[in-house]
């Protein structure tokens, strides 16, 4: 589609001419790898305004109670990042005439920094219905991509592509939302904090020995580092603009001022919801650690793969049906409506001469409409079988079911399906084949019980019991846990220097590496309650297969696997480098130099912030000169931070922080395995280094 064009959704349907629900997909790629955006939806009346702030859905308000809107979150793709929105048009309230689909960037970063900016609509079967690309993005920090609107009792889509230089606040204000401009406040607060930290250094110009003395005084102005998430949870609640405490006290004693305050319009805060740490558990009543807590879903007696598979499927499906937030979270991305859910196990369905028994069935009912998915699950690293999945796809197509969901330890990759199935193009009814990993299930459970909250205490307890079961050593639900059969011969080929470019086994290892990195992101995201995504440095038109082949050839040439992980609001991107030649894992991050102050102040501040970091942390100064900058371990730099200053007076552009450890050699997740060593290396770098850094030292320019 082109800007300004419109089309009726019914005209895009191959079925009965109706489209009751759609998935909106906003996508982009980033040459730098750290580009990000946040989607939003506004429900508008025929006057072009929201009814109130509750009609604005964004990162702090992701789901409508009536199921009409649900922001499904981001996921990496072959060419960048996609953010999905599920819209149930049958649930849109009367009086709502338009659903505006928009996106904005944090701290008003320009959309011109992103490539391949696009919107797509898909039906519940995953079939792409239309696409609209924005090719003229420049300085805009907010964009209205398009809208779905009613016209003569029919839903239509219009491609808009209108930009706003004022970001989320600007586009929301246009539609009647009273916004507290937190992006501007955050930027101002950062500038103030950095200015304050360097004020002593900037105020007194000095040279030679006097400059060193001045910098020594300035080094003491560092604010305390943030070591972890805070307990603030009020960012999502609309409320009056906060004033200072004395003014509020005066207003409370003055009836006229109080009346004025009560009449003031409520403004919506766009500051991101702060993560709330779970409350500390009450002391156990057990006499000693040998007393095991009774569990709703025990896993200790499981000793056969079939037992693990049946138990895990039944436990998961039962909790999905009893905890609506959880069931909806797992099925919305597959087109399920928000409605009453029932789940079943070991259902017998006719198929030729021999009935088939999928591991589970999920049914959701809303307004008389049924949505049904067959579930095929595997545990303990067992692979999915293509013939089984093919049978279930055929059954679903014949019976009019909407989806087949596979569930296993593997993590799915775009362009590299876990099983190959044949789709009969002659059938009008399309069936979605989707995959969930056990790591994704655990991630969604963690997000709900540790960060977003579950309203019903009994539901929260059920989720906690589910999570305990999934994490039990005997459950078989530990996510991706095997680098595959190509791992050992590829490592041997690297050691013997016999691995040559073009070897298909190297491509298989690269795919396994990508799966591992995605699982690391899921684990970190669940623990931290923020977006954690692998960095994709891709450009428009880049083919995933060609990209993986190029990475495989590089693996053959230098024996390295590389990846980058971006943690939302973290100071710096985590770079992971696995050197298979020497058996070492390096985790690192580059921290840009502050924009103001003296270099010695920067070095002292950095060393002070890393007071509790591992002594073997490597710090390297990055400069704009041709020669490498000074480097050393934290242990040696603590008494002499000035050793980080280049001798040739080259301009410092930043600092690289690195930790190195030995890596496991086996392909699995045992104590000596490669997978566990990668998990441990990333966690050590995050908890030992990143959490000690002040966010302001790594703010974007």
Q: Could you tell me which of 632, 611, 635, 619 has the C-alpha nearest to residue 688?
A: 611
Residue 300: φ, ψ to 5°: -65, -30
Beta bridge partners of 436: 407
Residue 458: φ, ψ to 5°: -65, -35
Name 534's Cβ contacts closer than 8 Å, sequence gap at least 6. 76, 514, 517, 518, 521, 563, 564, 565, 566
- Helix H segments across 529-673? 544-558, 599-609, 634-637
* SS3 per residue for 328-392: HHHHHHHCCCCCEEEEEECCCECCCCCCECCCEEEEEEECCEEEEEEEEECCCCCCCCHHHHHHH
CB 13 within 8 A of CB 123: yes
Name 237's Cβ contacts closer than 8 Å, sequence gap at least 6. 269
Burial per residue of 474-493, b for 16 or more beta-carbon CB atoms within 10 angstroms, e otherwise: ebbbbbbbbbeebbebbbeb
d(CA 638, CA 604): 9
CB 467 within 8 A of CB 442: yes
d(CA 499, CA 493): 5
Q: Within 13 Å and on the Cβ side, how many CA atoms surround 13?
A: 17
- Tens of pLDDT, residues 611-628: 999 999 999 999 987 778
d(CA 385, CA 420): 9
pTM: 0.78
Burial per residue of 633-653, b for 16 or more beta-carbon CB atoms within 10 angstroms, e otherwise: ebeebeeebbebbbeeebebe
Quick check: helix, strand or coil at residue 621? Answer: strand
CB 468 within 8 A of CB 318: no
From the CA atom positions of the chain, what is the Rg in Å?
A: 27
Structure tokens at 226: 């943030």
CB 432 within 8 A of CB 124: yes
DSSP codes joined into one string, 495-527? HHT---TT-HHHHHHHHHHHHHHHHHHHHHHHH
**How many other CB atoms are there within 10 angstroms of residue 137's CB atom?**
18
What's the pLDDT score for residue 274? 55
Residue numbers of the chain with a pLDDT score lower than 70: 14-18, 32-34, 181-266, 271-281, 425-428, 537-542, 665-672, 694-701
């Amino acid at each position: 589609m082109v800007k300004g064009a419109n089309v009726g959704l019914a005209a895009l349907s191959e079925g009965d001419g109706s489209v009751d629900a759609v998935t909106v997909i906003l996508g982009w790629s980033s040459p730098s790898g750290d580009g990000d955006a946040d989607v939003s939806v506004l429900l508008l009346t025929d006057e072009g305004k929201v009814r109130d702030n509750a009609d604005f859905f964004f990162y702090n308000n992701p789901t409508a109670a009536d199921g009409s809107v649900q922001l499904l979150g981001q996921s990496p793709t072959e060419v960048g990042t996609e953010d999905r929105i599920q819209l149930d048009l049958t649930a849109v309230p009367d009086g709502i005439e338009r659903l505006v689909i928009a996106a904005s960037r944090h701290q008003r970063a320009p959309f011109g920094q992103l490539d391949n900016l696009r919107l797509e609509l898909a039906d519940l079967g995953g079939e792409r219905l239309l696409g609209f690309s924005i090719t003229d993005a420049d300085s805009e920090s907010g964009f209205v991509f398009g809208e779905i609107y009613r016209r003569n009792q029919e839903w239509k889509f219009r491609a808009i592509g209108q930009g706003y230089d004022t970001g989320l606040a600007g586009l929301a204000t246009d539609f009647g939302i009273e916004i507290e401009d937190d992006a501007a406040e955050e930027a101002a607060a950062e500038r103030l904090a950095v200015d304050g930290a360097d004020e002593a250094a900037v105020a007194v110009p000095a040279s030679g020995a006097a400059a060193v003395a001045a910098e020594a005084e300035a080094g003491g102005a560092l604010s305390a580092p943030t070591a972890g998430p805070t307990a603030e949870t009020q960012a999502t609640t609309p409320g009056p603009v906060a004033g200072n405490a004395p003014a509020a006290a005066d207003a409370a004693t003055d009836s006229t001022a109080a009346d004025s305050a009560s009449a003031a319009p409520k403004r919506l805060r766009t500051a991101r919801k702060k993560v709330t740490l779970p409350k500390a558990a009450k002391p156990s009543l057990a006499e000693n650690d040998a007393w095991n807590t009774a569990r709703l879903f025990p896993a200790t007696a499981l000793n056969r793969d079939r037992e693990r598979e049946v138990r895990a499927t039944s436990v998961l499906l039962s909790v999905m049906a009893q905890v609506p937030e959880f069931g909806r979270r797992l099925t919305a991305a597959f087109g399920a409506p928000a409605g009453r859910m029932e789940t079943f196990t070991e259902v017998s369905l006719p198929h030729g001469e021999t009935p088939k028994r999928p591991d589970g069935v999920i049914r959701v009912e809303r307004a008389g409409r049924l949505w049904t998915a067959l579930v095929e699950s595997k545990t303990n690293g067992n692979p999915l079988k293509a013939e089984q999945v093919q049978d279930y796809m055929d059954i679903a197509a014949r019976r009019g079911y909407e989806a087949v969901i596979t569930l296993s330890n593997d993590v799915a990759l775009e362009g590299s399906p876990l099983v190959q199935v044949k789709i009969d193009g002659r059938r009008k009814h399309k069936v979605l084949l989707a995959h969930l990993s056990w790591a994704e299930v655990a991630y969604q459970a963690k997000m709900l019980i540790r960060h977003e909250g579950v309203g019903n205490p009994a539901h929260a307890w059920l989720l906690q019991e589910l999570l305990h079961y999934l994490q039990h050593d005997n459950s078989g639900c530990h996510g991706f846990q095997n680098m595959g059969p190509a791992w050992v011969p590829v490592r041997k080929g690297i050691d013997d220097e016999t691995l040559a470019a073009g070897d298909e086994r190297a491509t298989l290892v690269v795919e396994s590496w990508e799966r591992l990195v995605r699982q690391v992101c899921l684990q970190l995201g669940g623990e931290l309650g923020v977006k954690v995504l692998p960095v994709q440095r891709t450009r428009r038109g880049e083919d995933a297969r060609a990209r993986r082949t190029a990475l495989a050839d590089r693996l053959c040439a230098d024996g390295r696997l590389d990846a980058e992980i971006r943690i939302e609001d973290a100071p710096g991107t985590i770079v992971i480098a696995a050197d298979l030649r020497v058996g070492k894992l390096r985790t690192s991050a580059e921290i840009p130099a502050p924009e103001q102050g003296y270099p010695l102040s920067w070095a002292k501040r950095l060393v002070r912030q890393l007071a509790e970091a591992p002594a073997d942390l490597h710090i390297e100064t990055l400069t704009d000169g041709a020669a490498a900058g000074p480097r050393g371990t934290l242990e040696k730099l603590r008494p002499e931070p000035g050793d980080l200053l280049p001798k040739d007076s080259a301009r410092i552009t930043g600092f690289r922080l690195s930790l190195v450890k030995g890596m496991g050699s086996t392909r699995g997740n045992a104590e000596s395995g490669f997978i566990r060593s990668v998990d441990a290396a990333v966690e050590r770098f995050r908890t030992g280094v990143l959490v000690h850094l002040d966010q302001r030292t790594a703010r974007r320019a």
